[in-house]
Chains A and B, each alone.
Chain A
Amino acid sequence: MIRRAPVGLWVAGVAMAALALVPAIYLCVRAAEADADAWGLLLRDKTWGLLGRTLGLAAAVTGCAALLSLPLAWLTARTDLPGRRLWTVLLCVPLAVPTFVSGYVLLAAFGVGGALEEPLTRWGLPVPPVYGFPGALLALTVSTYPYFFLALRAGLQSQDPAWLEGARSLGLTPARAFFRITVPLLRPAFASGALLVGLYVLSDFGAVALVQYDAFSRAIYVQYEGAYDRSYAALLGLALVSVTVGVLALELWLRGRAGYHRSAKGAARASSPVLLGRWRVPALLLCGAVVAVGVGLPVGVLVYWGVQGLSVDSGPMMGPAWNSVSASMLGAVAAVVGALPLAFLAVRYPSRLTVALERVSYAGYALPPIVLALSLVFLGVQAVPFLYGTLVMLVLAYVVRFLPQAVGVVRASLLQLNPHLPEAAASLGQPPSGVLRRVTAPLLRPGLLAGAALVFLTAMKELPATLLLAPIGFETLATRVWGATAEGRFAEAALPALVLMAVSTLGVGLLVSQEGGSSPS
């Protein structure tokens, strides 16, 4: 049956795609001003060497984050692991650690003269490498694996247990069934996680700069910070956009056209949890180790900084905390709502055009955040001056920056939703709004919540756009932490950074507690 998408859906989808293209359009405008010198610089060997190094790092981080996240997601979504929800929340928290904190944390702990370097050496234990490639790999894996974790977890929760039961009844061992059924069915979740992690690594500057790894983003920063040269920076930015297009095309090709939803009659049940038995202790140890490195270490270092400067006045926290939460929540809701038309079009009405629209949402994701922030300045000043300097611009910036996070997760959940269920509801006389509200939305809930959680966590710590686009005087926890660390006042940064992490944890806790029936209980 050939179905045509409603006009409203098209309008919404095209509008979101246009918004997502703002950074690329901005870069084209600025790159058009570039002279021959700038082109010469772009085409020199060092530029390509840097790009190669950075792509290598992105691939390595993506692989490590995937390997780490799969067991974590399975343990928290499918087993009787004690304290599953608490672990879920804690395992997401590393996303809330601002990179300008996490980089310092690794150095302060394991760097030369760091707090843990000496005790580890004394006990003859290996000190984790924190400089160069291994350092960047470690820092970025720890700070980005939750992208995979959340995507895989949402995927596992929405997976129909009948698949696995079918495989088991045909004689597969639990392990083989897991690798032949569960894992392949997670392909959309893997894809969305890989895109988020890989492209994020390309855009990162904070972590790679702190561990002294030379990456492509640095070349872009140097043009803004040293030479005030926006046209050459734009050329470099466009190079990143081209790489993104390549990665997206590759992912599309790998993804194939398989179906992931249940095709049998009836509704999917919640799966019954796997009993861990004697594997419970190793499972807890694994979760504990990851939380210790991803959460314990930063908290420990922050507390250590804070104790050193107990007399330091960090100022009131309530105002900035409220600002952080309200802006990030608005951003999270807007991004998920904006992701829906794109994901619906691509999944329910697949055609070259709809898939292209969905892909476009990733166009700016590999760009360093400063480029994105400047493109929004450009949009605000040139197109919507009456909104410039208001909270709307900041929320728009969060949407443009984090839309791919929402699209990826929502799309993955939508793929697992049997289209016949909403169709059946419609045939039973439900109006489209009723279908959405009573059938589609509840079934999509894990995906929507995971998407909102991701955007919320990352918006909480977002910096350049928050500094440049928020209403003047709109102080957030992240800007507070930045203000202190920028001048080396670490003791003063400790409290707002801890509050930032605590508030983020509460936010994610709230979202996880809303997950409801689809998780084993």
Chain B
Amino acid sequence: MVRLLLASLVLTLASPALAAETLTIYSGRNEKLVGPLLKKFTEKTGVEVKVRYGETPQLAATLLEEGAKTPADVFFAQDAGALGALAKAGQLQVLPKETLDKVDARFRSPQGVWVGTSGRARVVAYNTKKVKADTLPKSILGFTDAKWKGRLGWAPTNASFQSFVTALRLLKGDEAATQWLKGIQANAPRVYKNNSAIIEALGRGEIDAGFVNHYYLYSAKKNKADLPVANYFVAAGDPGALVNVAGVAILKGSKNTAAAKKLAAYLLDAEAQTYFAQETSEFPLVSGVKLAEGLPPLDKVGSPDLDLSKLDDLRGTVKLLQDTGVL
């Protein structure tokens, strides 16, 4: 036993350097989703990949800790906030213009250091046995109505929820954001850890409606087809219709920039974009790619007119959430 353990230890120690063109990726996106796509990338380009999977914020914190000494070439993040934090720390390098230009300016960094690869819309998921879609308010602001008391669920620690609150602050002002948060608080929402937990609770009927990203429902339905939950898109232009992105960036410390740029380009290639659309029901960010069934087109969702990079006052949002007693 001990000998076997030692042998495996030695093997692990001795194996860091393998092929010449190997790309190290930190992925905040799930292996189940990204793994097959990266395999296709390797087949296509011959570039081997090594991936550290984890939660986006925790990987971002790790990258911030590692600084210039990071072994990572590429960071593939669940949300723009994490990419923005690394951009602010000056740890990202500028991407090629032809890659950036494929995506609407709203969904990429103005300095060109990160680019969105797929979109996820904020939606209201609801239990179809307990709520009729036509009784749902047109605006996210409508959920402060007292008739929603005890029926709502949210995940205020979640990064995508906080991005939405930041958007709400920018679009309607801090005062309105405070009022909305207080209004929802007054309706005694149940507090969940993340989007998956909200969908799970909706399935059991613990709550009637919850604020989530649109695509969690589809992966949950793959596991349980008869889940009585559906997505509701609020009116276009509403802060509640915010479309956030998962995105990719190349680290400044990368010694493998050429291969890293190939990967960034590949993720915006028609093949990868179709994959995101079909496999995870996300919104492709490059035009001309077919959407998953049942999804409205991105311009119909009508994300408010806001550059995602403007959503960088994360600390201000957390403070607001704390001041209103949400956190």
Which A residues are within 8 Å of any B CB, using their own CB? Answer: 37, 41, 46, 104, 107-108, 111-114, 209-210, 212, 214, 218-219, 221-230, 308-309, 312, 322, 326, 329-330, 370, 373-374, 377-378, 381, 385, 388-392, 464, 467-468, 471-474, 479, 483-492
Contact = CB atoms under 8 A, between A and B. Distances in A.
B159 A225 contact: yes
B191 A212 contact: yes
B219 A488 contact: yes
A228 B219 contact: no
Given A112-B206, A472-B50, A104 B200 contact: yes
Nearest to A474: B12
A222 B219 CA distance: 26
Contacts of B53: 467, 479, 483
Contact of B196 (A373, A479, A487): A487
Contacts of B59: 468
Given A228-B82, A483-B32, A392 B223 contact: no
B240 to A, nearest CB: 19
Q: Which 6 A-B pairs have the closest CB atoms?
A: A113-B204, A488-B196, A228-B85, A112-B206, A225-B57, A209-B193
A41 B216 contact: no
A475 to B, nearest CB: 8
B9 interface: yes
Contacts of A224: 57-58, 61
Given A112-B206, A479-B53, A486 B196 contact: yes
A299 to B, nearest CB: 19
Contacts, number: 175
17 contacts: A111-B204, A212-B191, A225-B158, A226-B314, A226-B317, A226-B321, A227-B314, A322-B8, A381-B69, A390-B12, A390-B13, A474-B12, A487-B32, A488-B195, A488-B200, A488-B216, A488-B220
A468 B62 CA distance: 7
Interface string B241-277: 0000000000000000000000000000000000000
Given A221-B157, A391-B13, A464 B66 contact: no
A453 to B, nearest CB: 15
Given A483-B32, A488-B196, A488-B219, A228 B57 contact: yes
Contacts of A486: 30, 55, 194, 196
A229 B71 CA distance: 22
Interface of B: 1, 4-5, 8-9, 12-13, 15-16, 24, 30-33, 50-55, 57-62, 64-67, 69, 71, 81-82, 85, 157-159, 162, 190-197, 199-201, 203-206, 216, 219-220, 222-224, 314-315, 317-319, 321-322, 325, 327
Contacts of B62: 373-374, 377, 468
A198 to B, nearest CB: 23
A374 B65 contact: yes
A413 B317 CA distance: 51
Contacts of B206: 111-113
A223 B223 contact: no
A184 to B, nearest CB: 39
Given A212-B191, A228-B57, A467-B58, A488 B322 contact: no
Nearest to B8: A326
Nearest to B195: A488
B23 to A, nearest CB: 11
Contact of B223 (A108, A468, A489): A489
Contacts of A230: 61, 64-65
A152 B261 CA distance: 58
Given A212-B191, A228-B81, A391-B12, A473 B60 contact: no
Contacts of A222: 157, 318, 321, 327
Contacts of B82: 228
A489 B222 contact: yes
Contacts of B64: 228, 230
A308 B157 contact: no
Contacts of A322: 8
Given A222-B157, A488-B220, 14 more contacts: A107-B204, A209-B193, A219-B327, A221-B157, A225-B57, A226-B81, A226-B321, A228-B314, A326-B9, A377-B66, A381-B66, A467-B55, A483-B31, A491-B223
Contacts of A227: 314-315, 317-318
B12 to A, nearest CB: 4
Nearest to B63: A377
Nearest to B224: A308
Contacts of B159: 225-226
Contacts of A223: 318
A374 B62 CA distance: 6
A229 B81 CA distance: 12
Nearest to B12: A391
Contacts of B81: 226, 228
Interface centre among A370, A468, A490, A491, by most B CB within 10 Å?
Answer: A468
A469 B30 CA distance: 18
A518 to B, nearest CB: 23
Contacts of A113: 203-206
Contacts of B199: 488
Contact of A41 (B65, B196, B197, B319): B319
A232 to B, nearest CB: 8
Interface centre among B1, B16, B55, B199, by most A CB within 10 Å?
Answer: B55
A226 B5 contact: no
A377 B54 CA distance: 14
A325 to B, nearest CB: 9
Contacts of B318: 222-223, 226-227, 229
Contacts of A389: 16, 71
Contacts of B193: 209-210
A226 B157 contact: yes
Given A468-B62, A483-B31, A491-B223, A46 B322 contact: yes
Nearest to A466: B54
Interface centre among B30, B58, B162, by most A CB within 10 Å?
Answer: B58
A113 B195 CA distance: 18
A472 B13 contact: no
B30 to A, nearest CB: 5
Interface centre among A223, A374, A468, A487, by most B CB within 10 Å?
Answer: A487
Contact of A112 (B1, B196, B205): B205
A225 B59 CA distance: 10
Contacts of B32: 483-484, 487, 489, 492
B223 A370 contact: no
A372 to B, nearest CB: 12
B223 A308 contact: yes
B248 to A, nearest CB: 18
Given A226-B157, A230-B61, A391-B13, A472 B216 contact: no
Contacts of B204: 107-108, 111-114
A328 B308 CA distance: 42
Given A41-B322, A389-B71, A489 B219 contact: yes
Contacts of B12: 390-391, 471, 474
B48 to A, nearest CB: 11
A378 B65 CA distance: 6
Nearest to B215: A487
B54 A467 contact: yes
Contacts of B66: 377, 381
Contacts of A484: 32
A37 B204 CA distance: 42
Contacts of A373: 58, 62
A510 to B, nearest CB: 10
